[in-house]
Structure 1
Amino acid sequence: MSLRMIGAFVAAVTAALTLAAPASADVGAQALNLRTPFDCGQVWNANTRTNHNPQLSVDFQRSGALGKNVRSSAAGVVETRRDLGNTSYGKYLVIRHSGGWKTLYAHLNSFNVSVGQNVNTGTIIGKVGSTGGSTGPHLHYEQRLNGVVQRVVLNGVHIRYYGNTSITSSTGC
């Protein structure tokens, strides 16, 4: 094999790897291994839409959602626990994880954790509700890196934008 052929091969492999490499935020989310925030074996519809605020957030829906456990997607510290009443997120939590990552869980019916509390992956942090500006029981969920909302990756699965992704929770299995 000539040097020219080797050079062309290396260039082609490098280009292919560059195109196939996930965005750095995706790599970070996978390294943190953010998990689906529900009980093991539950199937949820992860809905995304262009008119959502923020746009990259996910609404998890299913029949009988009201009162289902909401679990921490990863180990961390409860940073925020607020109740905005009948507006916006209603009852919501923010958990700070490693590497600049945070997760937000909104429209909760109730809280199971307090600010400053350490949680593990799968700790029950609240119950699904319909508080704030919600029109029905669901969990509004966000993954943020250094304060910027990211495309959601759970269990290594990229949630489909814009549409629906059926996802089965493996948290605590």
Structure 2
Amino acid sequence: MAPVSTKKRALTGLLSAAAASVALVAAPTASAVSSADVGVQAVNLRTPFDCGQVWNANTRTNHNPQNAVDFQRGDALGKNVRSSAAGTVETVRNLGNRSYGKYIVVRHAEGWKTLYAHLNSFNVSVGQSVSTGTVIGKVGSTGGSTGPHLHYEQIRNGVVQRAVLNGVAIRYFGNTTITSSTGC
């Protein structure tokens, strides 16, 4: 019996150490998904960029709408924007030099939609079915934008929610460094 007990203690120790390592890595940039985010877990919204790209997800109290996320990086212009989940393209619109500029809305399951704004170009049309990771457009600086970035919203039943990507809640209000795992 002693060998089994020793193995259990060793395994428990390893699991505890691994959990502590994961907590240390995740703690500075993001928080775990709460039970209030169960719906977003079911849809599993992903980071809207190519696999391995690192982006700064910026949130701030004066953003409109407040729970929107601005994704930024030094070479953002022209980067692929990918659908966060499977769905149907609901809106492809160009507001010119105001507001969102060129933007897309994708309708997902369970009352979820995602909005992608300030795009440079569109790769989809209204009514088109998309998969998780389908390239829907390119990052731009259209509309009321002051520089290349992606304005991103997760909307549930008409209300913009705090973003959860890849099962990780984006930090409000501040910055979260996030690496895209979409299409990996």
Q: Distance in 2 between matches of 1:23 and 1:30?
A: 10
**Cα pair 2:41 2:167 within 8 Å, conserved:** yes
Q: 1:146 to 1:53 in 2, by over 3 A?
A: same
What RMSD, in angstroms, separates the aligned Cα atoms of the two structures? 1.2
Partner residue in 1 for 2:149: 138
Q: Which residue of 2 aligns with 1:7?
A: none
Partner of 2:101: 90
4+ residue runs over 2 A deviation: 20-24
From 44, 54, 59, give the equivalent of 1:43: 54
Offset at residue 21 of structure 1 (A): 8.7
Aligned mates of 1:21, 1:150 — CA distance in 2: 13
Partner Cα distance (1:22, 1:46) in 2: 19
> How far, CA to CA, are the matches of 1:151 and 1:30 in structure 2?
13
Hey, what does 2:69 align to over in structure 1? Answer: 58
> How far 1:138 moved relative to its partner?
0.1
Match of 1:108 in 2: 119
Q: Would the aligned equivalents of 2:33 and 2:164 in 1 still touch at CA under 8 Å?
A: no
Report the counterpart of residue 31 of structure 1 in structure 2. 42
Specify the SS of the correspondent of 2:98.
coil
Aligned amino acid, residue 154 of structure 2: Q
How far apart are 1:31 and its partner, in Å?
1.2
Q: 1:81 aligns with which of 83, 92, 106?
A: 92
With over 3 angstroms needed to count, the CA separation of the structure-2 counterparts of 1:83 and 1:169, relative to structure 1, is: same
Residue pairs, 1:8-19, within 5 angstroms: none
Distance in 2 between residues matched to 1:96 and 1:33, nearest whole Å: 13
Structure 2 Cα separation of the partners of residues 157 and 21 of structure 1: 6
Report % sequence identity: 82
* Residue identity matched to 2:134: T
**Unmatched 5+ residue regions in structure 1?**
1-19
The CA distance in 2 between the partners of 1:161 and 1:21, in whole Å, is 13
Aligned 1:149-164 pairs, distance under 5 A: 149-164=160-175
Q: Give the secondary structure class of the aligned counterpart of 1:110.
A: strand
